[in-house]
Amino acid sequence: MNFWWFLLLSIIKIAVVLVILLTAVAYTVLLERKVVGRIQNRWGPSRVGPFGLLQPLADGLKLFLKEDLLPTAVYKPLYILAPVIALACALTSIAVVPFGADIKFKGVDLFQIANVNIGLLVILAVTSVGVYGIALSGWSSNNKYSLLGALRSSAQLVSYELALGLSLVGVVLRAGSLNLRTIVDVQATHGALSWNIFGGFQIVAFFVYLTAAYAETNRTPFDLPEAESELTAGYHTEYSSMKFAMFFMSEYANMITVSCVATLLFLGGWSSPFGHLFPSFGPVIDAILPVFWFVAKVFFFLFVYIWVRGTLPRFRYDQLMGFGWKVLLPVAIANIVVTSLWLGFTRPL
């Protein structure tokens, strides 16, 4: 592997992934507005461009051109740093996500920025640092609504992170590895039948993960940190213009990451639901098709996100905490115990 090739291709990959991710973020917002609109029996954005397709561009432009207010009482260094932390963490974790099959060009993996042995842990680690963005923004704004939102959010994130992490252990046990590619490969043998959610009997873990992930991304029904009726806008009350946009983008980027992880861990990643049922379609299609499957699955999860938002009401705060600690956590632990017993008995060590 030539170092310069490696450098060049890595930079290109990073640029491409960033562009795609940010575009995806923008269009997820549009998708959300459209779908929620349909759920509520109205049209959603439809004026800018055909079907409102240019709406994200217009929104972006608007936010970019707005005046950047800096309230007097804020603690400036952290006030500026907080959205940066939030967005950086949201964008970083995508680096270890493999989007397609392991295809190498000049020794460089084409569909993954960095293939590390502990990919899953990297995602967990980076998202766990993302809490600071929210916590610090709320504190540094020097506003009681922001502070309350931030406190709620940090408590919620720390509580649900446990359930989230533990729900993944069953998958890791089955694969025997923390490498995301290995985890997907284990599920790729018999198409959809060997996906963790079906063949791996991780359906409980799947729902625990999904619930915890909704809480982690501050989405309905766990969106207490930004409950409008109580806290105006929560932790980003005082933010405007691009700083606000950064929080906004980080929330949707986190949604996308969560959907990617759910896809990789439970729905077999880029592997086809039909397994090896169909013959090869030639090298190019064989390389593109997995990416298609991956994107389709991620899209499905994003749709579920929005569907849930359009359907479920918000939890009360004590219900949220009680649910996290008294239901999700024990269930996740029970899942680990059962999975390891099952693996221990069925598989020789």
Partner 1 sequence: MHLVLFFIFGGFCVAGALNLLLQRHPINSALSLIVVMTSLAVLYLLLGAEFLAAVQVIVYSGAIMVLFTFVIMLLNAQREERTHGSRAAYILGFPGAAALFALLTFIFISNGKSLGFAVLGPDMVSTSQLSSVLFRDLLLPFEVTSVLILIAILGAVALARHHEPHKDESKTQGKER
**Distance in angstroms (rounded) separating the CA atoms of residues 109 and 176:** 22
Neighbours of 143 (CB within 10 A): 20
Neighbours of 114 (CB within 10 A): 14
Smallest gap from residue 1 Cβ to partner 1 (A): 13
**Distance in angstroms (rounded) separating the CA atoms of residues 61 and 148:** 31
Q: Which is nearer to partner 1, 12 or 158 (CB)?
A: 158
Helices then strands (H, E): number in the chain? Answer: 12, 2
Q: Which is nearer to partner 1, 25 or 212 (CB)?
A: 212
Q: Which is nearer to partner 1, 78 or 103 (CB)?
A: 78
Q: Which is nearer to partner 1, 118 or 204 (CB)?
A: 118
Q: Which is nearer to partner 1, 276 or 347 (CB)?
A: 347
The span from the first CA to the last CA of the chain, in angstroms, equals 36
Smallest gap from residue 261 Cβ to partner 1 (A): 15
Smallest gap from residue 75 Cβ to partner 1 (A): 8
CA pseudo-torsion sign 128, 132, 135, 137: negative
Smallest gap from residue 38 Cβ to partner 1 (A): 38
CB-CB contact of 52 with 32 (8 Å) = no
| Side chain identity at residue 67, one-letter code | E
| Side chain identity at residue 72, one-letter code | T
Smallest gap from residue 181 Cβ to partner 1 (A): 15
User: Given the structure tokens 């090298």, which residue do they identify?
Assistant: 283
Smallest gap from residue 92 Cβ to partner 1 (A): 12
Q: Which is nearer to partner 1, 175 or 260 (CB)?
A: 175
Smallest gap from residue 101 Cβ to partner 1 (A): 24
Omega cis (within 30) before 221 = yes
Closest among 276, 79, 99, 312 to 192, alpha carbons compared: 276
What DSSP line would sit under 38-67, residue for residue? HHTTS--S-SSSGGGTTHHHHHHHHHHHS-
Q: What residues line the site for partner 1 (CB under 8 A)?
A: 78, 116-118, 121-122, 124-126, 128-129, 131-132, 135-136, 138-139, 147, 150-151, 154-155, 157-158, 161, 165, 176-178
Phi then psi for residue 216, to 5 deg, are -65, -35
**Distance in angstroms (rounded) separating the CA atoms of residues 124 and 161:** 9
**Distance in angstroms (rounded) separating the CA atoms of residues 258 and 280:** 31
Q: Which is nearer to partner 1, 128 or 232 (CB)?
A: 128
Is 40 buried (19+), middle (13-18) or exposed (0-12) by CB count in 10 A?
exposed
**Distance in angstroms (rounded) separating the CA atoms of residues 252 and 270:** 21
Q: Which is nearer to partner 1, 17 or 150 (CB)?
A: 150
Q: Which is nearer to partner 1, 133 or 269 (CB)?
A: 133
CB-CB contact of 239 with 247 (8 Å) = yes
